[in-house]
Amino acid sequence: MNAVLAILVAAEGEPHRDDNGQVVTHHWLFPEQAELIYGTLASLIIFALLWKFAGPTVVKAFNGRTERVQTELDSAQRALDEATSDAERIRNAKGDIDAERGRLFSEADAQAEALLSDGRARLDAEAAELESRAAAELVASAARVGDELRLEIGRIVQASTDQVVTASLDAAADQALIEAFIQRVGASS
Amino acid sequence: MSNARIEGYARALFEVARAEGTLDEVEDELFRFARSYESNDVLREALSNDQLPAERRQAIVEDLLGGKATPTTTQLISMVAGSGRGHDLPAIVDSLVERASSAKQLEVAQVRTAVALTDDQQHRLKAALENATGKSLNLKAIVDPSVVGGVVATVGDTVIDDTVRTRIDQLKSRL
């Protein structure tokens, strides 16, 4: 490092000085000529070294990256294909589900309608049966009440008949009945 | 009791009464006693009660009939009651009456009334029934208050019923 510094100092020569003895460059923008040469050479050497030693690694890295990117692209493509396929399958499944749902809904509607219809018919039949049974019971009840009333009247009349008839029969009536019997039997030959 | 035994008792009573020469009177007394026996629960219970000694049953008969019926009638009924056949007395007497009537070529006519018939009524009724049936009859009049009024006459299988009881029953059945 000291050697290089010494070379640079030797190449530079004596620096320019202004009137006041201050060191100045020959141009405010461009470097000194020697510096330009050495700098260019050094840059070339550096580039050459870089090209020789770092270039394959960089190329390899770029190739690897390219390959990795390609792999990732392929993977992404496959994922895209799979996603597309899945989406298609899901759409198909969704279509099936919709159809199944529609079928289930229609079946449920049909069953509900059938149940409703059966229920209405059964209710109508039960209502008619109840109505007829109630009418029959009403008639039977009326007949039963009538029978009971007739029976009660009959009982009362029966209970009173003996007393009334017995009380109304006196000796004269008895004799009249006997005489009437004798005459009727005698006349029936 | 079997019919044969009833007939046996009836035949025995009949022969005794006929042998005594009081068949008509005994038959009539037996008939009336049998009807009383049928209608009187106490009498029926007393004479058909096997728990009572035979002597006791016979004493009841003699107490009831002594002096009111012929000795033959009293003895015959006492004999039936003492032999433990009191409950068959009506059937035995009825059979005896049938037998006595048959012996006289007559058929028994049972007449039930609520009040007793006079002799004239019995004669006229007998004549009317003979006229109606064409048979000679042995009229047996029975006072039966259950008929209420009117007359029911039974000649063999023929029944002529004109009683108030029957009319009341018909009225009740219609009601």
Beta bridge partners of A96: none
Residue B43's closest CA among B13, B82, B86, B7? B86
pLDDT in tens, A3-43: 656 655 555 556 667 788 787 777 788 877 888 899 999 99
Same domain membership, residue B92 and residue B8: yes
Structural domain contains residue A138: yes
ipTM of the complex: 0.77
What chain B residue is nearest to A153 in terms of C-alpha separation? B175
Q: Please state, in angstroms and rounded to a whole number, the distance separating the CA atoms of residues A74 and B129.
A: 141
3-state secondary structure chain B: CCHHHHHHHHHHHHHHHHHHCCHHHHHHHHHHHHHHHHHCHHHHHHHCCCCCCHHHHHHHHHHHHCCCCCHHHHHHHHHHHHCCCHHHHHHHHHHHHHHHHHHCCCEEEEEEECCCCCHHHHHHHHHHHHHHHCCCEEEEEEECHHHCCEEEEEECCEEEEEEHHHHHHHHHHHC
**8 Å CB contact of A162 and B128:** no
- Judge if pTM exceeds 0.80: no
Q: Which of residues B104, B135, B161 is at a domain's end?
A: B104
Q: Is A182 on the interface with B (CB under 8 A)?
A: yes
What is each CA distance from B154 to A163, B34, B109, B126, B163, in whole angstroms? 27, 17, 6, 12, 13
What chain A residue is nearest to B149 in terms of C-alpha separation? A174
Euclidean distance between the first and final Cα of chain B, in Å?
40
Same domain membership, residue B7 and residue B44: yes
Structural domain contains residue A175: no
Check: CB of residue B117 under 8 Å from CB of residue A179.
no
Same domain membership, residue B26 and residue B91: yes
Residue B103's closest CA among B1, B175, B165, B13? B13
Same domain membership, residue B131 and residue B53: no
What chain A residue is nearest to B166 in terms of C-alpha separation? A162
Residue B96: CATH number of its domain: 1.10.520.20
Q: In a structure prediction context, what are the per-residue pLDDT tens digits for chain B, which is 175 residues long?
A: 578 888 998 999 899 988 988 888 999 899 989 988 988 889 889 888 888 898 999 999 999 888 889 999 999 999 998 888 888 999 999 999 989 998 888 999 999 999 999 999 999 999 999 999 888 999 999 888 888 899 999 998 999 999 998 988 888 777 7
pLDDT at A159: 79
Q: Please state, in angstroms and rounded to a whole number, the distance separating the CA atoms of residues A118 and A16.
A: 121
Q: Which of residues B104, B120, B153 is at a domain's end?
A: B104
Structural domain contains residue A166: no
Same domain membership, residue B140 and residue B109: yes
Same domain membership, residue B113 and residue B97: no
The number of beta carbons lying within 10 Å of the beta carbon of residue B95 is 20
**8 Å CB contact of A185 and B113:** no
pLDDT in tens, A134-170: 999 999 999 999 989 988 887 887 778 878 888 888 8
Count of domains forming chain A = 1
Question: How large is the angle between the packed helices B54-65 and B71-82, nearest 10 degrees?
Answer: 160
Same domain membership, residue B164 and residue B126: yes
Structural domain harbouring B146 = 105-175
Q: Which of residues B53, B79, B104 is at a domain's end?
A: B104
Amino acid found at B164: V
Same domain membership, residue B92 and residue B123: no
Same domain membership, residue B65 and residue B118: no
> Which of A46-55, A88-97, B117-126 shows the lowest mean pLDDT across its residues?
A88-97
Does the pLDDT of residue A110 top 60, yes or no? yes
Number of A/B CB contacts below 8 angstroms equals 72
pLDDT at A160: 83
Structural domain harbouring A128 = 2-150
**8 Å CB contact of B168 and A182:** no
Average pLDDT on A164-186 reads 87
Count of domains forming chain B = 2
**8 Å CB contact of A185 and B121:** no
Supply the DSSP string of A103-153, one letter for each residue: HHHHHHHHHHHHHHHHHHHHHHHHHHHHHHHHHHHHHHHHHHHHHHHHHHH
Q: Please state, in angstroms and rounded to a whole number, the distance separating the CA atoms of residues B31 and B23.
A: 12
Beta bridge partners of A24: A16
Rg for chain A (alpha carbons), in Å?
68
Same domain membership, residue B153 and residue B67: no
Check: CB of residue B46 under 8 Å from CB of residue B60.
yes
Structural domain contains residue A140: yes
Structural domain contains residue A183: no
